[in-house]
Chains A and B, each alone.
Chain A
Amino acid sequence: GAVVSQHPSRVICKSGTSVKIECRSLDFQATTMFWYRQFPKQSLMLMATSNEGSKATYEQGVEKDKFLINHASLTLSTLTVTSAHPEDSSFYICSALNARASYQETQYFGPGTRLLVL
Chain B
Amino acid sequence: AQTVTQSQPEMSVQEAETVTLSCTYDTSESDYYLFWYKQPPSRQMILVIRQEAYKQQNATENRFSVNFQKAAKSFSLKISDSQLGDAAMYFCAYRRVRTGNQFYFGTGTSLTVIP
Chain A interface residues (CB < 8 Å from chain B)? 32, 34, 38, 41-44, 46, 49, 91, 93, 95, 97, 103, 105-109, 111-112
Contacts and interface: CB of A to CB of B under 8 A. Distances in A.
Given A49-B101, A97-B101, A105-B97, A43 B47 contact: no
Contacts of A49: 100-102
Contact of A109 (B45, B101, B107, B110): B45
A105 B107 CA distance: 21
A49 B104 CA distance: 13
Contacts of B47: 106, 108
Contacts of B35: 106
Nearest to A103: B50
A93 B108 CA distance: 16
Contacts, number: 49
B64 interface: no
A53 to B, nearest CB: 16
B85 to A, nearest CB: 17
B44 interface: yes
Nearest to A32: B101
A26 B114 CA distance: 36
Contacts of A97: 101
Contacts of A106: 33, 35, 47, 50
Nearest to A2: B47
B45 A93 contact: yes
Given A43-B91, A43-B107, A49-B100, 18 more contacts: A34-B103, A38-B43, A42-B108, A43-B105, A43-B106, A43-B108, A44-B45, A46-B103, A49-B101, A49-B102, A91-B43, A95-B45, A103-B50, A105-B97, A106-B35, A107-B95, A109-B45, A111-B44
B1 to A, nearest CB: 9
B50 A111 contact: no
Interface string B83-115: 000000001000101001111011110100000
Contacts of B108: 42-43
